[in-house]
Structure 1
Amino acid sequence: MNSLNKINLIVGFDQREAIAYHVFCQTIIDRATMPVQFLPLAENMLGKYEEVHTDGSNRFIYSRFLTPYLMDFSGWAIFADGDMVCQADISELWALRDESKAVQVVQHAYKTKVAKKYLGNKNEDYPRKNWSSLILWNCGHPKNAILTPDFIQYHSGSYLHRFSWLEDDLIGGLDAEWNWLAIEYPENPKAKLIHYTLGTPCFKDYENESMSNLWKMSYTRANEGFD
């Protein structure tokens, strides 16, 4: 199958909220009209990459930048955090690929409402915050060839999450509907992709927060088949 006839979806995986990964994938499966190839971004699957960074609120905060490497620097892929619910056909996002861009992201410009998020992690403001939580990657773009395991291991979070290896005109924009931040943004139950960035409703501190009902419905759907 031609690589452009299927969607390559790299999804962040952290065992501390493993259920979030499975719920998100269920929402993709339910609505997709094209074949989707899932790759969980789990540490034990990353081959030569060894995580040496000691900061970060989840286990894939740096390894997401391995996406072009994992795709053999060819074709396209979507990276998404696992703490999301997709309410649209993911092929709609796939159709937005722009060969003139190295990446395409929702270019958030906001100040967070809270100082801490799930599991007591710090939640600080910084430039281009949450841009890297949903990335449409042009894996074959020459500027992304620099993203080897060694390069990512020894560059800072601020450098990577701000896409500092790219000129600004190579960072394409996406509509905010494709990375709608629960709690941080007003309720938008019709958003194409809801991101529970402060904490998925699987955590008790967030089980009744903004748009948690949509995540819970997706959770129920993912558990079909159990008595």
Structure 2
Amino acid sequence: MIRIFAGYDPREAVGYHVFCQSLIERTSEPVAITPLYGTQRDGTNAFTYQRFLVPYFTNFTGRAIFMDASDMLMLANIDDLSKLFDPTKAVQVVKHEYQTKHLRKYIGTPMESANRDYPRKNWSSLILWNCDHLRNRVLTPDFVDDHSGSELHRFGWLPDSLIGELPKEWNVLIGEQENKNAKIAHYTLGIPEFDHYQNCDFSKQWFNTKSRMLNGLIKMKEVANA
């Protein structure tokens, strides 16, 4: 069983359900999907800080994957990502090193806001958690409440040697990066449901997945051609 903790933002609820559809129809292994949703802090997504409590939620046992989810689309089998787990690391992430090309995000929606650069931006949007790791046992609700967002998103409780690196195709930032081999499309600027982003990279795949979700009927050849 692959344990997935998926960020749920009610402002992008359709994105969450499209993500779940894309994950379920491509997986070759059973998955357990737990949505993360809670009180917002600092005007951020409701699940921004809950992601750092995944080891706590699992009673510090086993492995788990956190994903932003509401603005993501699976384009590959989640089992292939799960097989990349490295027991010597506390976490594994795609280590983005970039400066944004866009000063605004969620353009044309009530969510529109400045799109700022900061160190290790989007590293924490996909995390392979080694929940057993002793270094992750500090991650309690009190610890998360007592530390700033910048500290947490930079994985400040860990030495760099315990932050493993995943291949770039497992978290491709749409509108910021180009990668035709993307295995996860991350619409970090806005999902295709929003008018401004309806023609972005991998928007066709997103809308096709949404259509299959709404139809409630899926044919395997449709998945192969998505």
- Give the TM-score normalised by structure 2: 0.90
Match of 2:222 in 1: none
- The 3 A distance-change label for structure 1 pair 52 and 13 is closer
Match of 2:145 in 1: 153
Q: Return the letter of the residue paired with 1:98.
A: D
Cα separation, 2, equivalents of 1:224 and 1:26: 11
Match of 1:23 in 2: 18
Percent identical residues: 51
Match of 1:94 in 2: 82
CA RMSD, Structure 1 to Structure 2 (Å): 1.3
How far does residue 187 in structure 1 lie from its aligned partner after superposition? 5.0
Asked if structure 1 preserves the Cα contact closer than 8 Å seen for 2:60 and 2:137, the reply is: yes
Match of 1:206 in 2: 197
Q: How many residues align?
A: 212
Match of 1:112 in 2: 100
Match of 1:3 in 2: none
Asked if structure 2 preserves the Cα contact closer than 8 Å seen for 1:53 and 1:153, the reply is: no
Match of 2:47 in 1: 60
Asked if structure 2 preserves the Cα contact closer than 8 Å seen for 1:52 and 1:153, the reply is: no
Structure 2: any 5+ residue segments left out of the alignment?
A: 218-226
How far does residue 218 in structure 1 lie from its aligned partner after superposition? 1.1
SS in 1 for 2:54: helix
SS in 1 for 2:215: coil
Match of 1:180 in 2: 172
Match of 1:48 in 2: none
SS in 2 for 1:8: strand
How far does residue 203 in structure 1 lie from its aligned partner after superposition? 1.5
Structure 1: any 5+ residue segments left out of the alignment?
A: 1-5, 44-50
After superposition, residues 71-90 of structure 1 pair within 5 angstroms as 71-82=58-69, 83-90=71-78
Matched, 1:70 2:69: no
Match of 1:169 in 2: 161
Cα separation, 2, equivalents of 1:67 and 1:99: 17
Q: Can you list the C-alpha shifts for 1:12-34, whole angstroms capped at 9, x where unaligned?
A: 00111111111111111111111
Asked if structure 2 preserves the Cα contact closer than 8 Å seen for 1:31 and 1:90, the reply is: yes
How far does residue 52 in structure 1 lie from its aligned partner after superposition? 6.9
Bigger shift: residues 91-100 or 206-215 = 206-215
- Give the TM-score normalised by structure 1: 0.90
Cα separation, 1, equivalents of 2:139 and 2:177: 32
Cα separation, 2, equivalents of 1:177 and 1:12: 20
Cα separation, 2, equivalents of 1:170 and 1:12: 24
Q: Return the letter of the residue paired with 2:68.
A: D
